[in-house]
A and B are shown apart, each in its own frame.
Chain A
Amino acid sequence: MDITLNPADLTHTIAFYTLALTSIVAALIVVTAKRIFRAAVALAVVLICGAGFYILLNYDFIAGVQLLVYVGGIVILIVFAVMLTSSLESIEEPPSLGRKALGLFSSLAFLATAVIAFSETKFPLSSISAEQPKDVAKAVGRKLLDYGAGGYVLPFEVISLLLLASVIGAIVVARNPKRKNEGSAT
């Protein structure tokens, strides 16, 4: 057993394992917590840890977006959904034993398959000398608006359309049908 003790590497390693442990525990809370609100908080923790992972991978811009959109937007939306559909006293009944077993089997089967696949596959690693773009935010922005080969302007537009459609759809779906004839009252 040869544990290299490069200090920069060590902080990196410590951060990785700490975050990994935290996020796995929090993820387990997300899927098992009987009080749904606690699951939401755990989800926020998982996502914050995710941002931490991205920073470890040197994608600080993506980490920022993760915090901004996931923690600032999606988690709050989910919390809202919780608030609108349940109360503090409502404690979720545990799933039936069969379902639990089936879920456990499925997830473990996936885990086993994927881990075996990873260990059997030789991934083409990029060369050591390859450098990531200095400013990821800038590079991502350029790539998103690039309409040449390898550019992402079309998916970008599609995503924006998707967002627009989902916003309109959400309004239509969630609107109380009994109140649609009322005037400008919100």
Chain B
Amino acid sequence: MNELANSFAFNNAWLIPALPFFSFLVVGLFIRPVSDKLAGIVATLSVATAAFLSIWLAFDYFSAFPAGAEHPGLISWSFEWLRYEEHLAVNVGVLVDSLSILLMVVVTFVSSLVHLYSIGYMKGEDGYGRYFTYLNLFTFSMLGLVVAPNILQTYVFWELVGVSSFLLIGFYYTKPSAVSASKKAFIVTRFADLFFLIGVLLIAVVGYNAMSMFGAPGSLPDNVSAFDFSYLTSSGVSIMMNNLGLLTPAMILIFIGAAGKSALFPLHIWLPDAMEGPTPVSALIHAATMVVAGVYLVARLFMPFAASGTALLVAGYVGAFTCLFAAVIACTQDDIKRVLAYSTLSQIGYMIFALGVASATETLGYTASLFHLFTHAFFKALLFLGAGAVIHAVHTNNIWNMGGLAKKMPITNITFLIATLAISGVWPFAGFFSKDEIIASAFGTHHYVIFAVGLLVAGITAFYMFRIYIVTFLGKARSEAVNKAHEAPMTMTIPLIILAALSAVAGFVHFGDFVSVGAESGHAEGGFPIWIPALLSGLSGIAIAWFIYAGNSERSKALTERLGAIYRVIYAKFYIDEIYLFVTHKIIFRFISAPIAWFDKRIVDGGVDLTGWMTRRGGAVFSRLQTGQAQTYTTWMVNGVIAVAVLIWIFVS
């Protein structure tokens, strides 16, 4: 703490989430009705300032606690919001540690670029000011989430993220598809959040009781609350909960919440639809904010997860399955944003299974996961923004209506290619290092199935990414729109260039020195050079894509026909949505909801109606007493008083 006492950025860390919030209020209430243009500028500037502050904070923090040293969690600012008991309080505050700094930097940085990009992208749209208002709110929610020092604040902002994503996905609220997509996203994540809430309450109850019995653990201040992360991640709590048999259920419940936000199988169905929002919003949701919230949550609670073991393993396999599953679907989709959405699912799967394979002693996976989060934020944002630029130019999402855009849009082409290479894991781009580390951690912890999936998906990723790259940018133009396409304006290309540069070099950061968990940073390098099969896998994917899609399109069509039914199943995304519909409509609605509705209508409402009916009838009967004659009432009153007097007299004397 002392090292940072003089740091402006640390002392005013609350400004980082607060700036977008104030901007949200000011823009939404005062500027938006006056000037759309100013709204965009103010919103962008506020987030850019927050980004600047968070980078400053990162700089100060890592100067005070240099690479390799221990990175303590510090509370920069906090106030007591609710206090129930001595050990049951909810604070609102700003927690500064390496994890929150990482996410603050990523969120504010990507968000400010998205804001900047949006100024160009959204020009001329209806609701321009409203858009920036929502964007600010979204950024604020996400920042509030990552700086939360306790799980209840996390939960509050978690829901706020859900609300603001609902608003943004449904931004084109006149479009029925956008409306249903926003509802879908909200309901699915909300459904998952329910489990999260139960998990939170479970651990809070146990933690509170433990603290009432034994007092605060020695290393923590006396006024620590059962909700605080510092308390939840201490080993004593985990052991005790484990002994009670509650740790694994609680952690799995929390993981379900994380899976909802991070769109892990089977709660992934909202994410591909979420592209109904404006493309920069997709970039923000997919790259830096909403979907990584789940990863962040698991990372934040890594110690209890690790203590449970089982929960972590569940996370690992769910992640690995999502990773493969989404990658396979991505190979068949025609919508450029949909492909990118499935690639996001796949990459999130990587991050989650990397966390899953890690343990309290073997922590490489933790570092690798966050490293991938870090690099993925840049190239996925880049991919989406590039795709946005393309869509902006040709006004279609279907890749088969594009082609040959490389000449029309050189900057977009090059930046998109860099991102594609990065996500495919080609040296020296960022994705290579992080993905390599993930695969290595899976291998190093002897999870060979997951390791194999990781290797396979690396190839598939390269395949589908190059599929869309080749179809979109190379070859001949396949539609009229392409001929009219031209390069995007400056506000859109500048973010592309910045992100491209970062995608290229971000991998060289010695990430493990900064973000790690536990005592050792656990670089399980050496031994077998994992990067060779990983790279080979990626390159072979690129080669297959090149073979199939470069040149004429005959081969791809032939392949499609030959795969037949399998292709159709994959193209229909394994009919997951249909299964959901079937389950909800045919089973849940018919056998659970309908009886409940009947019960509600007939028994509950009927009871209320009966009360009302009885009251009305009773009123009708008693209203006969209401003659409207004041003197009748007075007679009752006088005789009543006399009766009371007589009664008092009889009973008192």
Contact = CB atoms under 8 A, between A and B. Distances in A.
Partners in one complex: yes
Nearest to A95: B631
A106 B636 CA distance: 9
Interface in B596-653: 631, 635, 638-639, 642, 645-646, 649
A99 B645 CA distance: 23
B646 A113 contact: yes
A109 B642 contact: yes
Contacts of A110: 638, 642
B639 A109 contact: yes
Q: Which bracket fits the contact residues of B? A: under 10
Contact of B642 (A99, A102, A103, A113): A113
Interface string A96-110: 000100110010011
A104 to B, nearest CB: 11
A103 B635 CA distance: 7
Interface residues of A, number: 8
A99 B631 contact: yes
Interface string B547-575: 00000000000000000000000000000
B216 to A, nearest CB: 55
Contact of A117 (B631, B638, B639, B649): B649
A106 B631 CA distance: 12
Contact of A106 (B639, B645, B646): B639
B637 to A, nearest CB: 10
B645 A113 contact: yes
A46 B645 CA distance: 28
Question: What is the predominant secondary structure among interface residues of chain A facing chain B?
Answer: helix
Interface string B453-494: 000000000000000000000000000000000000000000
Nearest to A109: B642
A99 B631 CA distance: 9
Interface string B218-259: 000000000000000000000000000000000000000000
A93 to B, nearest CB: 14
Given A109-B642, A110-B642, A113-B642, A102 B635 contact: yes
Contacts of B631: 99
Contacts of A109: 639, 642
B646 to A, nearest CB: 6
Contacts of A117: 645, 649
B649 A106 contact: no
A31 to B, nearest CB: 13
12 contacts: A99-B631, A102-B635, A103-B635, A106-B638, A106-B639, A106-B642, A109-B639, A110-B638, A113-B642, A113-B645, A117-B645, A117-B649
Nearest 3 CB-CB pairs, A to B?
A106-B638, A109-B642, A102-B635
Interface of A: 99, 102-103, 106, 109-110, 113, 117
Interface of B: 631, 635, 638-639, 642, 645-646, 649
